[in-house]
Amino acid sequence: MYYSKPIKIQPVKTQAFTDQKPGTSGLRKKVTTFKQTDYLQNFVQSIFNCLPKLRGSTLILGGDGRFYNREAIQIILRMAAVNGVAKVILGQGGIFSTPAVSHLIRKHKALGGIILSASHNPGGMDGDFGIKYNISNGGPAPEEFTNAVFEESKKIKEYNIAGVKGIPLDLIGSYTLERMQIEIIDSVDDYAELMSQLFDFDKISKLLKSPDFSICFDAMYAVTGPYAKKILEQMLGAEEGSVIRGESLPNFGGGHPDPNLVHAKQLVARMYDTNETGSTPNFGAASDGDGDRNMIMGDYFFVTPSDSLAVIAANAKLIPAYKDGIKGIGRSMPTSQASDKVAKKLGIPCYETPTGWKFFGNLLDDKRITMCGEESFGTGSDHVREKDGLWAVLAWLNILAEREQSVEDILRQHWSEYGRNYYTRHDYENIPSESANQLIDNLQSNLDSLAGRVFNNRTVTIADNFTYHDPVDDSISENQGIRIIFDDDARIIFRLSGTGTGGATLRLYIERYVEDIKQHDLETQEALYDLIETAELLANIIGFTGRDEPTVIT
């Protein structure tokens, strides 16, 4: 309707870049890389060129507020205006959490959305930046699309951009750029309304207002600060100050917005050490840069992401949105098999997918699963097509309000019923890419010889590089992680991460299942010591990387 007459476009000549291949969560590079002349413009035009239904469409646009977010949004708006987009819905100040974008795409039946984020990676002028496209179901674009964008980026010769000034990003209202409508909305309201429809806010509010219950939510100076303050403190009545580090800062306060025991130090200190009142909070949580990850804690107690997914699934009927039960569970291959035990008891399927939330999209759209999660602190359900940090926090609070037990008691009862999956992940960060690839290649070349071998009284039953056959569209994804599985179902998994911007990150995952309740109180690293030793020996980690210990253990 807006483009009955073509707009006069003055294309800008450009040179293609060769390094714009999106990873599992879009294109992530250093800010300095994105600020190169034409770098962002080339990639955005490549996205637009791969969208045949772009003309006359609606797009959602926003980011996590990291350094370069505002400048990038102005560039994208000017490009969208002369590439046929009819309307852009933009978060106030250019801010949207990733799950909020997913919800708005679905609510407004938009063609898709552009999310500016490098998720849990550090921000600031010397930090990381990222951009990804989410499709009409609200989820990350599939590999077929991202591969097409990469191919386009290697041959692009020009891009289209309006030669006009930008718009004020901080004022809610309607604007026009060329003939394109821009609607700037409150970043939080729509998402908060969705959460109120899923959970029992009255019961959660009663819990949070109880004098015997307190919480601490660490927003890590990232995007969820305004979301958590609105929902937890204003709507649900948590004590003011329950949200710490709640201001969204372009450099995340100089920290690393990754919700784990290493980087969420302020939260961990509060949950493990007595504060000025002489007690720890009953419930603790943290979220990451763009709001899609979460960490759950009780007083003096840490819940692994794998266990968190299993507990939420096992207690789903206590949550209004899932009171009729769930259809199935999805988990990434490296995630522990705790959810498999829940699915088996519930009589529902549990799907094992590669790492990357986009692989859950088909299963959710086909109504094969209702909940899904990854060991990398991501949990979600069919309400959006992204992992959702605050959703997981509210799910736990709803369960706590219904069961009237502590986090630790709930998890220990879960282990007594389903058994305990001892689980850990060791990250070796910033390894030279050549060394990391050599390590994986060496493992790959030795896989055929591992089956039947015995290590510490365990026999290898499977040694392979995981291949996923999508049950919905029959697509095949190969080389998704090296698996070594033993006769007692213990697992060792090796992967190279696709979310970093410097060097390579080797991820080592270790899992062991213990049914005997008398063995549920072991320290995790102690319980997995012999498997960790076997993994380091099999991969020759010291030999290939020079590292005698991981950078991060979770």
Task: Encode pLDDT of 427-451 as tens digits.
Answer: 999 899 999 999 999 999 999 999 9
Residue range 420-553 forms a domain whose CATH class is alpha beta
Buried b (16+ CB within 10 A) or exposed e, 497-526: bebbbeebbbbbbbbbbbeeeeebeeebee
Give the CA distances from residue 390 to residues 69, 192, 305, in Å, rounded to whole numbers and listed in that order.
Answer: 22, 10, 14
Are the folds of 190-418 and 420-553 the same?
no
Q: Both tokens of residue 331?
A: 């988990």
Position 452 scores a pLDDT of 95
Other beta carbons within 10 Å of 75: 15
Q: Both tokens of residue 487?
A: 């006769």
> Domain spans of the chain?
12-187, 190-418, 420-553
CA-based angle 191:185:94, to the nearest 5?
95
- In the CATH scheme, what is the homologous superfamily, with its name and number, of domain 12-187? Alpha-D-Glucose-1,6-Bisphosphate, subunit A, domain 3 (3.40.120.10)
Position 533 scores a pLDDT of 95
Per DSSP, the three-state class of 379 is: strand
Helix (H) / strand (E) element for 217: namely strand 215-218
Annotated active-site positions, please?
119
Task: Encode pLDDT of 129-170 as tens digits.
Answer: 999 999 999 999 998 999 999 999 999 999 999 988 889 999
Position 46 scores a pLDDT of 98
Question: Is the Cβ–Cβ distance between 263 and 256 less than 8 Å?
Answer: yes
Give the closest residue to 285 by CA, choosing from 254, 245, 252, 334.
245
Each residue's pLDDT tens digit in the chain (554 positions)? 333 344 567 799 999 999 999 987 899 999 999 999 999 999 999 999 999 999 999 999 999 999 999 999 999 999 999 999 999 999 999 999 999 999 999 999 999 999 999 988 889 999 999 999 999 999 999 989 999 999 999 999 999 999 888 899 999 999 999 899 999 999 999 999 999 999 999 999 999 999 999 999 999 999 999 999 999 999 999 999 999 999 999 999 999 999 998 899 999 999 997 555 557 999 999 999 999 999 999 999 999 999 999 999 999 999 999 999 999 999 999 999 999 999 999 999 999 999 989 899 999 999 999 999 999 999 999 999 999 999 999 999 999 999 999 999 999 999 999 999 999 999 999 899 999 999 999 999 999 999 999 999 999 999 999 999 999 999 999 999 999 999 999 999 999 985 555 678 999 999 999 999 999 999 999 999 999 999 999 999 999 999 999 988 88
Q: Both tokens of residue 512?
A: 């062991």
**CA count, 13 A, side-chain hemisphere, 427:** 17
Average pLDDT of the chain, as a whole number = 94
Which residue type, as a one-letter code, is found at position 159? Y
Please give the share of the chain, as a percent, with pLDDT higher than 90: 90
Q: What fold, for 190-418? A: Alpha-D-Glucose-1,6-Bisphosphate; Chain A, domain 3 (3.40.120)
* pTM value surpassing 0.85: yes
Task: Encode pLDDT of 5-63 as tens digits.
Answer: 445 677 999 999 999 999 878 999 999 999 999 999 999 999 999 999 999 999 999 99
